A = this chain, B = another copy of it.
Amino acid sequence: MARSLGEIVARFGGELKGDGAQEVCGLATLETAGAQQLSFLANPKYRVQLGSTKAGAVILSAEMAEFCPVTAIVTPQPYLYFARLSQWLSSVPAQARGAHASAVVESPVPLSVSIGAHCRVGSDVEIGEDSVLYPGVTVYPGCRIGRRAIIHAGAVIGSDGFGFAKDGETWVKIAQIGRVIIGDDVEIGANTTIDRGALEDTVIEDGVKLDNQIQIGHNVRIGKNTALAGCVGIAGSAKVGAGCTAGGGAIILGHLTLADNVHVSAGTLVTKSITVPGSYTGTVPFMPHEGWQKNFARLRHLDAMADKIRALEKRLAELEKKA
């Protein structure tokens, strides 16, 4: 569906440098956009692409406007503008509201909620207005999901936490009687799993964004607006603050506490609580395999290397005294 730039600016703001009657019918990158498409320049390092763009118009900042060869929408935060616009212009069909006939829904849900094919919503579940569950989502009994949730296919909410007591050599299951409580505006990726609490609840606060294949253990609390990338694992009873991020595959061990605004790099294993906001990393550089074999074997002897350095320092000091 075509939209005029004038209509876009009227709705989303920004300063239009060009003809308000000009129409666009979708979004594309600077490199691929045609005359019917709107593009954006958020990162100044892509300015070179601006010169040659075939886009009908470009969303950009005031600093970049002078370099724009086509119609411009000028706004202080082009990426944010683009994000808002992307939802309005999206060409992907929205899943219908209501529960698909094949879904098994054992709790009443608001009419504005969309429940996809083969979803399972257990008893005593509450789901807030305007939420979307894509196909094959499972919500175990007793869980709470806020408003405007987006839950992707195959996600599992409320499976049992991993809790056992040892009885000699065997394990005795601890019934997991807590729930999962999810705030408003939370997005949960495909095949992500969130375990119910053991005694207390697992809590995902408002505005949290979880990518695909994330595992959240029992009793975990994830603070407001925290965003976790794919394959992250948060072990049981960890408390992650608000405004945190974690890169792909990061693991946070159990019972730890992360302050607000902590950023964990991809692939990092967090083994201690973090009380100071900031970025934290614990990964090793990769190398061509042969160099790595020679080099990383040294890791087993790091302690010995440190001892050798200390011994050298001592011997050298003695020689220096004599000289």
Residues of A that sit less than 8 Å from B by CB: 26-29, 32, 77, 79-80, 82-84, 86-87, 89-93, 100, 102, 104, 116-118, 120, 123-124, 134-136, 138, 140-142, 150, 152-154, 156, 159-160, 162-167, 169-177, 185, 187, 189-191, 193, 195-196, 199-200, 207, 209, 211-213, 215, 217, 224-225, 227, 229-231, 233, 235, 242-243, 247-249, 251, 253, 263-271, 276, 278-303, 305-306, 308-309, 312-313, 315-316, 319-320, 322-323
B289 engages A281 (CB within 8 Å): yes
Within the complex, the shortest CB–CB distance from A199 to chain B, in Å, comes to 5
Count of this chain's copies in the oligomeric assembly: 3
Residues of B within 8 A of A156 (CB): 136, 152-154, 190-191, 212
Verify B287–A282 contact, CB threshold 8 A.
yes
Contacts of A293 in B (CB 8 A): 281
- In the bound assembly, the distance between CA atoms of A116 and B27 in angstroms comes to 35
- Assembled-state Cα–Cα distance A171/B13 (Å): 19
**Residue of A141, A199, A294, A305 with highest tally of chain B CB at under 10 A:** A199
Q: Could you tell me if B283 and A212 are in contact, using CB atoms closer than 8 angstroms? A: no
In order of increasing CB-CB distance, the 5 nearest A-B pairs are A282-B286, A83-B165, A279-B289, A90-B175, A159-B190
Min CB distance A108 to B, Å, is 16
Closest partner residue, chain B, to A29 (CB atom): B199
Question: In the complex the two chains form, is B167's CB within 8 Å of A80's CB?
Answer: yes
Residue of B nearest to A100 (CB): B104
CB distance from A83 to the nearest CB of B (A): 4
Q: Which residues of B contact A271 (CB under 8 A)?
A: 266, 283, 285-286
Residue pair A297, B285 in contact (C-beta under 8 Å): yes
CA distance A136 to B121 in the complex (A): 12
Contact partner of A193 (CB less than 8 A), chosen from B100, B171, B189, B196, is B189
B166 touches A80 (CB 8 A): yes
Chain B residue at minimal CB-CB distance from A290: B279
Complex Cα–Cα for A194 and B169 (A): 24
> Measured between alpha carbons, how far is A1 from B157 in the docked complex, in Å?
26
20 contacts between A and B (CB under 8 A): A26-B177, A28-B200, A29-B200, A82-B165, A92-B175, A136-B154, A138-B154, A140-B153, A156-B190, A169-B224, A169-B243, A171-B225, A215-B231, A217-B230, A280-B287, A284-B296, A285-B300, A291-B303, A298-B302, A316-B316
